[in-house]
Amino acid sequence: MSHLANKSIKTLFHLAAISSICFAGELRTFYLRKVNEGKNKMLVLNAIRNKLIHRILAVVRDGEHYHKNYIHSLQVS
């Protein structure tokens, strides 16, 4: 861990990632799939933390509520 990192925020994201894999949902499915592929568990948890950060920043950037099944307006069907 970098000495420049905000350890309290990193801890909160780690706990959120662990919590998200404890309950049924897409992040748990992602975690189990990657671990079954042979990925390191900590590496997958780091990917989940990254996914959570991106989702939070998108909600803040767009000023909207989180939509689980969001489809971008530019996405071609």
- DSSP at 71: -
Domain chopping of the chain, boundaries: 26-63
Show the tokens assigned to 62: 């767009």
Answer for the pair 45, 18: CB distance below 8 angstroms, yes or no: yes
Q: What is the pLDDT of residues 37-77, one digit of tens each?
A: 999 999 999 999 999 999 999 899 988 888 777 777 777 65
Q: What is the pLDDT of residues 19-41, one digit of tens each?
A: 999 999 999 999 999 999 999 99
Backbone angles phi, psi at 40, to 5 degrees: -65, 135
Amino acid at 19: S
Spell out the long-range contacts of 29-34 with Cβ–Cβ below 8 A and sequence spacing 24 or more: none
pTM of the model: 0.81
With 70 as the cut, is the pLDDT of residue 1 above it? no
- What pLDDT was estimated at residue 39? 97
